[in-house]
Amino acid sequence: MTKVKPPVSKNETIELTFEDLTHEGSGVGKVNGYPLFVPYALPGETAKVKVIKVKKNFGFGKLIEIQEKNEDRIEPPCDVFYQCGGCQIQHMSYNMQLQMKQKQVRDNLRKIAHLDNVPVRNVIGMEDPWRYRNKVQIPVGAKDGEIVTGFYQKKSHRIIDMDTCPITDEQNDRMVEAVRRLAEDVGIEPYDEETHKGTLRHIMVRNGKETNDLMVVLVTRTEKLPYKEKIVADLRKAFPNVKSILQNVNTKKTNVILGNKNITLWGEDHIYDMIGDIKFKISAKSFYQVNPVQTKKLYDKALEYANLTGSETVIDAYCGIGTISLFLAQKAKKVYGVEVVPEAITDAKVNAQLNKIDNAEFFVGQAEKVMDWWKAQGLRPDVIVVDPPRKGCDETLLRAMIEMKPKRIVYVSCNPSTLARDINILKEGSYEMKEVQPVDMFPQTTHVEAVAQLVLKEESADSM
C-alpha cells in the first residue's frame, strides 16, 4: 500500500487561507485537503504560516504575517496575551467569541449525540467581558534576583511576569501586587519548583462581588513566615475591606496549590458573597464560581428548565457547597443534594442555615450509590439536576437517573463534548432533549458552559 506523503514539510513557509476554528480557538486552513491548525488565525484570513509539526492526517503551524485580516480581529488589551496561557481568544471581537462558543456546543451535539435539530440558543454573554474573575491563584517565582508573579507561559512552568490581568477583578490585582512588594521589602524568599526551596509559593485572592469582602491567602512551603505582623498591618491599611488574611502551608513537592493546613493570620477564615438572594460562606478551599454575575444567569436558566411549582422533589447531584440546591429550594418542595467531597457538604449545610432554608438536605457520597439507596427507600424525584466536572457524569450515575425516571433532567455542563456523550446515554433511557442554553462564564477563553433541558417521553412516563 502506497504511503501518502503530507503536502507540507516541517519548517516550510506557506501561504494559507483559513476557513474555520477549532474548539481551542486555532484557525483551520487546508493544503490540498490536509488541515493545518494555527493559533491566533481567524476564518477568512490569508497569512504566511511556518509549518512546525507534520502528522499523518493533520499538522500545526505558526502565524508569521497576516496578509488579509478578518474584521473581527482586535488588538488584545493584555500586554502578555501571546505569551501567557491564561486566555486564548482575546484577539477576537466579543461577538465572534460568542458565535464560536455557540458553534462549539452545536457541533458537539451533532457529531457526538447525533442531534441536528435541537435548538441551541444564542450564548448569554456579559455586558462587560473584562475584570470578571473574583478569584486568582498566582504562582510566585524569581527572575534575575527579583520576585515575579504571573500566570504560566503556555505548556510550561515558566512564570510570565505581569502587573495586571484584564480578566481579574482590579482589587485582586492590587492585592497580589501589594503582597509581592511586601515580600520583596521584608526579604521573603520566593519558592523554587526545581529545588523545592524558598517560602512563598502562591498568592490567592478571593473577593465577594456583592459584599466587597476580601480574602488573601499566602501559600508557603514552610509554616515559618517571617514578618507576619508587618504583613497583616500593611495589608489592612492598604485594603480596609479585607476580612480574612490566611497562611496556607503546603510542604509537598507538587503542582497542587493548597496544602492541608490553614493558619488565620488575622480576621475570619472565610468571607461572604451573594448570588441573587442567596448568601454564601466561602473559605479558602470552597468551590465557588469565579464569575458570579454569569453564575446568576446560569442558575436562573437551570431553575427555568426545572419548571418548579412548589410541589416537586428534586435531587441535585454534584451539589458542591449547595449553590444550585439552594436556588432550587426556593421553588421546590424538597431538595436532596449529594457530593463526594465532605468539606463541600459541610459548607452546603452551613449555607442552608445561613439562608434559613430548611427544605434542603445534603449527603456525602458518590451520587450513583446514594441515589440507589434513595431509590430503595422509595424516593421518587420529579426533577434531577446535575452539574458534573469536565469529565462529565459517571455512566452508573446516568443509569441510576434513568431508573429513577424523573419527569425532567437539567444538565449543567462545563464541557460540551462530555455533555453530548452523556445525552447519548440519556436518550437511550427515553429522555428527549428540548433545548440548550450556552452561557459565557469565562470571556476571553475558549471555555463555555451550557444548560440542557431533557424531558421523559410520555410513553415512558405512562409506564411508571
Written as nine digits, the cell of 80 is 502578555
Tell me the C-alpha distance between 321 and 231, whole Å: 31
170 phi, psi to nearest 5 deg: -60, -35
Tell me the C-alpha distance between 13 and 32, whole Å: 16
Q: How many CB atoms lie within 10 A of CB 443?
A: 23
DSSP 265-283: EEE-SEEEEEETTEEEEEE
Q: Which amino acid is at 395?
A: E
Tell me the C-alpha distance between 158 and 84, whole Å: 10
Tell me the C-alpha distance between 77 and 64, whole Å: 21
Tell me the C-alpha distance between 265 and 232, whole Å: 7
Q: How many CB atoms lie within 10 A of CB 25?
A: 21
The answer to whether 393 is a known catalytic residue is no
How many CA atoms are closer than 13 Å to the CA of 296, on its beta-carbon side? 12
Element (H, E) at 397: helix 395-404
Which residue intervals of 219-291 are DSSP H helices? 228-238
Residues of 201-235 as b/e, b for ≥16 C-beta within 10 angstroms? Answer: bbbbbbbbbbbebbbbbbbbbeeebeebeebeebb
Residue in 78, 319, 393, 414 annotated catalytic: 414
DSSP state of 70: -
DSSP state of 79: T
DSSP 101-118: HHHHHHHHHHHTS--SSS
Q: Are 215 and 284 in contact (CB under 8 A)?
A: yes
Beta sheet of 242-249, edge-to-edge order: 146-149, 135-143, 200-207, 214-220, 242-249, 261-267
Strand blocks (E) in 177-260: 200-207, 214-220, 242-249
Catalytic residue positions, numbered: 414
